[in-house]
Structures are given as structure tokens and as C-alpha cells.
């Protein structure tokens, strides 16, 4: 191989080092996952240090077959002091009736329903939960997506991970056991690719925060300008974490993964979700354009096999096959650690799901690069470099040209209003003790 140009040896050496570094990420994730996840805390509250109160923000939009069960797990948590702040933007949303039924079923749980949202930016989630955030009365705020299912001790685990030097505790995304290949595909993704990056990032102090389930110090967020300060971003979770760490605070994951339990599970919608995430990563961290494809099993294996043949004259096909086999086995081991119990599918289903993920991953990333516009529910956005978003909405341009069109209003200052049992509001009826209703 001495006839090859010298720069090729340099490229081969670089890719071999990158390959070794990627395998170090595998080792870190497996070891840290084994140490961190599902560990029970022995720290118990005392009279001198009681558990703090937590305000839980639940943004809702629409209903699915599992929504009522998911929300009900928040009413039955084993935690002494918390409030539930349900936020619904559309006054005609069927989620309102579902929440009302739960408020009536659990009258002793401190809960509130906020309808109408606020206009504080382009991020629909921030707009939805902002009224609830303004009314939160406790020092800690938890933001939890509608599809999250809680165990009895999940909130306790998150609070106990919040030490004096931490301002953000977040859960690593995972999924509940559900039927169907789409559910298997989701579990394989979150238990392998996502967990590997999430766990190693937590060890190395890299921002890998996803906001589907996180606990925040409210005073720190207020110091940053409140949630409205992050309304200009679609990936508000990334920028919240970055701002928190820049103030000198630390963040870390909790011991329990976040259990996503959406009642609507299909391949197409999940792949659209992965494409949307890839677009956000590219806009926020441009180096993703190069690093992410190179970290894919099939692509990295091919490059490393070529590098091994150049540097060591090894058989590239044998190297590639061993690489894929070892990657497959390490992913199975990591998924077993995250699952912490028996798998809801057969090993053959895992093989099919794993191959499907690895083969479609590069295509989905290229799709994200080809069309940078982000479709989120019924809205479409584009991102500037750095993550600032703006909405592509013909209605907005029509409103700008029509002086009679309603203009966006600033977020109102909200004060909680107590609604007694049987009291009728302007648009909603809410019964039960300790319940608050705000319609903006």
C-alpha cells in the first residue's frame, strides 16, 4: 500500500481515531447507564429538610387513547407537595373536558386549568404553558409533555437529584411497552442511539437536554427572563440548558428514564419527528452536518474498514462485519440496561427494528438537510443559524396587509382566581376543591 498518496494515510489515521472515539462513547454509555439508571435513592426527607413543592406544567393539545391514563398518573404520585397546571391553547380543544373529569375525580389534588395561552414568541409550547408558569407558586417547576407517564416515585427521584449546585434535572427519553412494530422501532431508537448519546453527554458535561420531562429552579429561569425569553426558539430546551450552565449552574439526568406513552404510534409520524429534531440540531450546532452522519454504524463501519485496510492491510469486509456485529451487541446490551426488565418483543423483532433504524438513519438526516423547513403540528417554521425561529404562515402576511385583522397581543399578567365547587366561568365549568381556572 506504499504507492498511496501520503494524505490518504492521514485521512485513514483520522477516521481510525474517530472510530475508536465512537467506541469509547459506547463504553461510557453502557458503564454509566449500569451505574446511574434505575438506582433507588436512600436519601429521605427530614423535618429540617422537607421535600420542596413542585409546580408541574402540562401542555396539552388534542387527545389520544392513552392521554387520560397518562395524566392520571400525575394525580396519584407519591409526593407530598405539588400542583398540576394544565395548559390548553384552544378553547375548543377536547383535552379540556378530559382534564375537567380528572379534576372532579381528584378534588383533593391542587390543580389548575389555563385556557388560551399567551403570545410571547413563535414556540407554541412556550406560548401554551406561559400562563401556567406565571401562576406557579413553588420554587421548582417541572415541564412535562402530554405523552409522559409517571411512576409513583418519579418526581421524588427527580427532586432528590436536584442538589444545591444543580438548577436542571431532566429525564432521559424512553418509551413504555406497547404493541406493534412502530412501538418496537421507537423503543430501539430511544434505548440505543438516543440513550448512548444522552448518557455519554451527561458524563462529559455536554448539553443534550430534551425538554419532554425536566425539573427547573424557577428563580434561575426568572433570572434569565422567564420562559418568555426562550419563546423565539423552537428548541427551547437546548437554550434553557445552555443559559442555565452559563450562569454557573449544573444539570444532570435523573435515575429514571422518561416513559413516553402516546396512544398514537406509527412509523411515519415518528420519522417526521426524527427529521424535525435533526433540522433543529443542524441549525443549533452546525458541526452536526459532518459529525452525525459519521457516527452512524453503517457509514462509520465502511470508513473504518477502509482505514484499517490502508493502515494495517486488514481485510475490509471482515473488519466491517465484525464492526456491525459488535455495534449490534453493544446496542442490545445498552437497551437491556435502559429497559431494566424483560423486553416486550422477541430478539428477531429487535434485529429487524435495529436494522431498520440503522439503514434509515442516514436517509432521514439527508432529508432534514434537503428541506430545512420544520413542520410542527399545523404550523411551519424556518430557523436561522443559531436556532432563532420564525413562522412561515400566509395568515401572518395577510394580517400585516389587512389593518382590520387582529394583531398579536402581549402576554397578560395573570393572577390565579379561585373557583369554588359549582362556580361557572365564562366558557368552562370546573368543580372540586383547590382547583383554579384561568381563561385568557
User: Could you give the CA distance from residue 174 to residue 259 in angstroms, rounded to a whole number?
Assistant: 5
User: Could you give the CA distance from residue 362 to residue 339 in angstroms, rounded to a whole number?
Assistant: 26
Taking CA atoms, 267 is separated from 70, 182, 298, 439, in Å, by 22, 5, 21, 36
**Bridge partners of 298?**
none
132: region left, alpha or beta (phi > 0 left; psi from -120 to 50 alpha): alpha
Please tell me which residue in 110, 202, 237, 331 is annotated as part of the active site.
237
56, 142 Cβ separation under 8 angstroms: yes
Work out the burial of residue 412: count CB atoms within 10 Å of its CB; fewer than 13 is exposed, 13-18 middle, 19 or more buried.
middle
304, 323 Cβ separation under 8 angstroms: yes
Name the grid cell of 242: 445552555
In sequence order, which residues have a C-beta less than 8 Å from that of residue 232 and are 6 or more positions away? 121, 122, 123, 388, 389
In sequence order, which residues have a C-beta less than 8 Å from that of residue 40 and are 6 or more positions away? 255
Q: What is the spatial order of strands in the sheet that 435-439 belongs to?
A: 250-253, 166-170, 213-217, 140-144, 54-60, 82-88, 111-115, 435-439
User: Could you give the CA distance from residue 254 to residue 173 in angstroms, rounded to a whole number?
Assistant: 11
Q: Judge whether 331 counts as a catalytic residue.
A: no
* CA angle, residues 385, 388, 392, in degrees to nearest 5: 100
Helices and strands (H and E) in the chain: how many: 15, 14
**DSSP of 23-65, one letter per residue?**
HHHHHHHHHHHHHHTTPPP-----SSSPPPPEEEEEEE-S--T
Catalytic positions, written as ranges? 237
Amino acid at each position: 500500500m506504499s504507492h498511496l498518496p501520503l494524505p490518504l494515510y492521514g485521512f485513514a489515521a483520522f477516521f481510525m481515531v474517530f472510530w475508536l472515539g465512537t467506541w469509547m462513547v459506547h463504553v461510557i454509555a453502557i458503564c454509566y447507564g449500569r451505574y446511574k439508571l434505575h438506582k433507588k435513592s436512600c436519601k429521605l426527607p427530614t423535618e429540617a429538610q422537607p421535600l420542596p413543592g413542585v409546580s408541574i406544567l402540562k401542555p396539552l393539545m388534542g387527545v389520544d387513547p392513552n392521554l387520560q391514563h397518562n395524566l392520571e398518573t400525575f394525580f396519584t404520585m407519591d409526593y407530598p407537595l405539588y400542583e398540576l397546571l394544565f395548559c390548553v391553547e384552544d378553547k375548543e380543544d377536547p383535552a379540556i373536558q378530559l382534564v375537567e373529569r380528572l379534576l372532579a375525580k381528584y378534588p383533593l389534588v391542587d390543580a389548575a386549568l389555563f385556557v388560551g395561552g399567551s403570545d410571547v414568541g413563535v414556540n407554541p409550547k412556550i406560548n401554551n404553558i406561559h400562563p401556567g408558569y406565571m401562576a406557579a407558586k413553588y420554587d421548582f417547576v417541572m415541564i412535562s409533555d402530554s405523552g409522559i407517564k409517571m411512576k409513583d416515585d418519579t418526581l421524588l427521584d427527580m427532586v432528590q437529584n436536584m442538589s444545591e449546585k444543580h438548577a436542571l434535572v431532566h429525564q432521559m427519553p424512553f418509551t413504555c411497552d406497547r404493541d406493534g412494530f412502530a412501538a418496537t422501532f421507537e423503543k430501539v431508537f430511544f434505548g440505543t442511539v438516543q440513550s448512548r448519546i444522552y448518557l455519554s453527554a451527561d458524563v462529559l458535561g455536554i448539553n443534550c437536554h430534551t425538554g419532554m420531562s425536566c425539573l427547573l429552579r424557577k428563580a434561575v429561569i426568572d433570572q434569565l427572563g422567564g420562559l418568555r425569553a426562550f419563546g423565539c426558539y423552537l428548541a427551547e430546551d437546548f437554550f434553557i440548558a445552555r443559559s442555565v450552565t452559563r450562569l454557573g449552574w449544573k444539570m444532570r439526568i435523573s435515575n429514571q428514564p422518561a416513559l413516553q406513552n402516546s396512544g398514537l404510534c406509527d412509523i411515519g409520524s415518528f420519522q417526521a419527528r426524527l427529521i424535525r429534531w435533526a433540522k433543529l440540531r443542524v441549525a443549533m450546532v452546525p458541526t452536526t452536518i459532518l459529525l452525525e452522519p459519521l457516527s452512524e454504524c453503517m457509514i462509520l463501519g465502511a470508513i473504518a474498514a477502509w482505514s484499517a485496510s490502508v493502515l494495517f492491510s486488514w481485510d475490509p469486509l471482515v473488519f466491517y462485519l465484525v464492526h456491525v456485529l459488535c455495534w449490534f451487541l453493544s446496542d442490545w446490551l445498552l437497551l437491556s440496561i435502559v429497559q431494566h426488565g424483560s423486553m416486550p418483543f422477541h430478539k428477531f423483532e429487535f434485529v429487524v427494528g435495529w436494522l431498520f433504524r440503522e439503514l434509515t438513519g442516514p436517509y432521514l438526516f439527508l432529508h432534514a438537510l434537503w428541506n430545512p423547513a420544520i413542520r410542527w403540528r399545523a404550523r411551519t417554521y424556518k430557523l436561522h443559524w443559531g436556532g432563532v425561529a420564525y413562522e412561515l404562515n400566509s395568515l401572518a402576511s395577510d394580517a400585516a396587509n389587512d389593518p382590520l385583522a387582529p394583531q398579536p397581543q402581549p402576554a397578560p399578567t395573570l393572577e390565579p382566581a379561585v373557583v369554588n365547587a359549582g362556580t361557572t366561568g365564562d366558557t368552562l365549568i370546573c368543580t372540586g376543591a383547590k382547583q383554579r381556572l384561568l381563561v385568557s
